[in-house]
Amino acid sequence: MPAKIVSDRGAVFVGAFWKEFMTLLGVELLYSTAYHPETDGQSEPNIGTTLLITRKSIRGKHHKFEAKFFGPYQIVDRMGKVAYKLNLPSSAAIHDVFHRHNQAATKWLIHWKDRSPADASWEFADVITERFPCIVLNCKSELRSVALRIIAEFGSDELREGDREEWRANIGKLRARIHLLHVSHPMPTLLLRFRRNCFKNSDRLDNQIIQLMVKILGKESQHSVASKLFDVIPVRDFALHVRAWTTILHSYSRSGKYEKAIALFDFMKLRDLSPTLVTYNVMLDVYGKKGRSWDKILGLLDEMKSLGLEFDEFTCSTVISAYGREGLLEEAKGFFDELKLNGYVPGTVTYNSLLQVYGKVGIYNEALSVLREMEENNCPPDSVTYNELVAAYVRAGFLEEGASLIDTMRRKGVMPNAVTYTTVIDAYGKAGKEDKALRFFKQMKESGCVPNVCTYNSIIGMLGKKGRAEEMMEVICDMKSSGCTPNRVTWNTMLAMCGTKGMHKHVSRVFHEMKKCGFEPDRDTFNTLISAYGRCGSEINAEKMHDEMIRAGFSPCITTYNALLNALARKGDWRGAESIIADMKSKGFRPNETTHSLMLHSYSKGGNVRGIERIAKDIYEGRIYPSWMLLRTLILANFKCKSLAGTERAFQELLKKGYRPDMVVMNSMVSIFSRNKMHERAHEMLDFIRESGLQPDLVTYNSLMDMYARSGDCWKAQDVLNGLLQGEGKPDLVSYNTVIKGFCRQGLMEEAMRVFSEMTSRGIRPCIVTYNTFIAGFSSRGLFQEVDEVMSYMIQHNCNPNELTYNTIVDGYCKAKRYKEAMDFVARIREQDASLTEPPLQRLVSRVRQNMES
């Protein structure tokens, strides 16, 4: 048995088992200081020639002044095919046999089968690998088998951070299982093999097993499993390669566990490990996704420069994307320009990240300039390039132009992929053009492009929002038959679909079903739940989900705050929304486009015009970037608050920026001009709609009918209705109610009854608004017998009068100074409508008395 063993610093030889085993045998371990230099591919050295021995860089204050080489020393013998023995001086404290790549050669102590331990011999690892490949293969296979078993046992979706006791209880079983593996293999036993039974008082797994598990999970992109597994395994107790640590960091990043990734990165540096370029890139991504971390990102960039790490495509694209997430467009462009000034030549990935920044806010002109620069610099655009360009077009409202890029891609030899089609399908769906989206979906499949889970999620969400349940189920069946497995986003989409008032129980049910199917909620799921509960009107449940999210270890992000804002915006609680904004800013988050849009919704729902004006001022003065979505929301917010000046100003700003208004915006402009009896402007807008390549829809024509009805020109309203009937349009209940209202206001009750008959003959059922319009028309003219007939008719047709109905009749009596009859009418109400409770009756009595006193 040798008194000393010299080896390299491979994971096998610095592992805990090797050290423990050698200590038990009384063998002193020595490690070489050589490293792997790059080879020049020239001829192999011969006996008699001399070699310089490379020296591993020594960390320290003055490491730059240390010698990089020893020697040269003469080769005295060739040891097999790949190693050489050198004539080293007696003072050299390293092994005298070196690999052909100038690395200290590795030897293994082999215990030969059917021989005594005294016959064990040291053999070169390369020679053993070449002579007995099955031995190494079996060894690796055993390690992989153990790693996979651990993953299967402890990497399940049910794993919790609190399951450490269960983990420790199973350690004994695991040791026994691994020990059996060795007993069942009486082949030459390499000390490389995992020997847990030598560790009598340790609860730690062997480094090799851990590293293999990391490798397997990383290779298979099982980030969620990895992040949960290494929450339970005390991974910091092991000596892992930087590559393994980086993979674990990446798993935490992809799982949204940013704080854990940051803590692990700090631990790596405390251990004096040297993060690689990939490690830094992962951490840039962590801070970029976490948000409010610009000082950290800039600090990492400075560290990288000080270590001489050159930025690669991933570095640059990650930083640019981080700028984009924060809405810092100018900063993203400035960073990009600075890179070029410093001699960096952007590649396709970097250009694509800049395109994505412009695409998110719909700045298609800038996106086109990036494409031109790529072509000028001979940087070939790929499918991602065109996908981002498509996104830029559709985000600016240019849906047709975005869709036409699919043909351009084909002409350029770039095949549209699932992302291309999904971007267009999603845009049409959000614009309310479901049928067009479905046609593109069909075209996608006919072209041979296979829809992915994102495509199906987009279609499912689109159909679900419109209540097209049967078609949605067909798509889900198509998804299953095509072998596309629903993912977490699919479940999140289903949760989002349940986000309508009164459906909070359905949200909870879908959430439980999701967990039953093995999907643990991630941060996006919690954000979706908060938003869904908010849309259901269940603010308490939204807050509970926020608290549960924090308990689960997910830190709130900008999306979380926006989900909470969404819940408040639906209630018009702008004061609560302002407190959320203040909390965001205090924690370093910068409000983004969605945040400002939700604040505009809060103000408009709450009738706070001044709040809208404050945000508008920040937009017009450049403090908030005027994206298409934000200007569109500003138009609609002003419209809802009936602010003509605010609506016009925002619309002009939208056109000034080169954005294309959609039909919702166009109809809002027609409607606000109609409400203000601005006939000429309304017709100008109608012409502008057609000039923009759009077609007026039913909402447009209903707004025009409303304009004529309000101004007393009821026959023109009738003409618009007739035009719809003669064309392809189909009038709806609103159309008929509007024309009926116009005739009733003019006292033309017979014409109103004629329109009513036409409506019912077409299968359109009148609503409470229809009946109240007739009651208002008859009662204002003192025709109370007709009022009673309308009341009887509506009750017979299962439409109960509401309080407005009774208020209108009482006001009619009082207007005619017929107060006693008003009181008699109130007294008789219960005879016809037993559903009316006492409080409304008392309010009607008070209403009559107030009219008498006035």
Using the 3D structure, point to which of 428, 461, 484 is the last residue of a domain.
484
- Res 109: pLDDT: 65
As a whole number of angstroms, the distance between CA 231 and CA 162 comes to 9
Q: Are 424 and 402 in contact (CB under 8 A)?
A: yes
Which amino acid, 453?
V
The first and second tokens of residue 386, run together, are 């065109």
Out of 454, 484, 514, a domain closes at: 484
Using the structure block, give the residue that is written with the tokens 């052909």.
100
471 found inside a domain: yes
CA of 253: how far to CAs of 226, 247, 288, 659, in Å? 11, 10, 10, 36
Q: What pLDDT was estimated at residue 684?
A: 92
**pLDDT score at 395:** 83
pLDDT at 159: 37
Q: Is residue 480 part of a domain?
A: yes
Is 421 part of any domain?
yes
Element (H, E) at 74: strand 69-79
What is d(CA 404, CA 787) in angstroms, rounded to the nearest whole number?
A: 58
How many domains, in total, are found in the chain? 2
- Supply 801's token pair: 């009068």
The answer as to whether 399 is a domain residue is: no
Q: Which domain holds residue 450?
A: 417-484
What is the model's pLDDT at position 151?
Answer: 57
Q: What is the pLDDT of residue 559?
A: 82
For the chain, residues with pLDDT lower than 70 are: 1-27, 29-72, 78-83, 90-96, 98-115, 117, 124-206, 208, 220, 467, 469, 487-489, 491-522, 532-541, 728-729
Any domain includes 589: no
Per-residue CA distances from 372 to 324, 376, 380, 392, 405 (Å): 21, 6, 11, 15, 15
| Among candidate residues 429, 452, 484, the one where a domain is terminated | 484
**Per-residue pLDDT tens digits for 602-611:** 999 999 999 9
Q: Sign (positive/negative) of CA torsion 511, 517, 520, 521?
A: negative
Asked if residue 837 is part of any domain, the answer here is: yes
Q: Establish if 87 belongs to a structural domain.
A: no
Query: How long, in residues, is the chain?
Result: 854
Return d(Cα 580, Cα 562) in angstroms, integer. 9
Answer yes or no: are the C-beta atoms of 346 and 373 closer than 8 Å.
no
Instruction: Using alpha carbons, list the distances in angstroms from residue 168 to 154, 198, 391, 722.
Output: 11, 18, 50, 80
The beta-strand segments (E) located in 396-510 are none
| 784 in a structural domain | yes
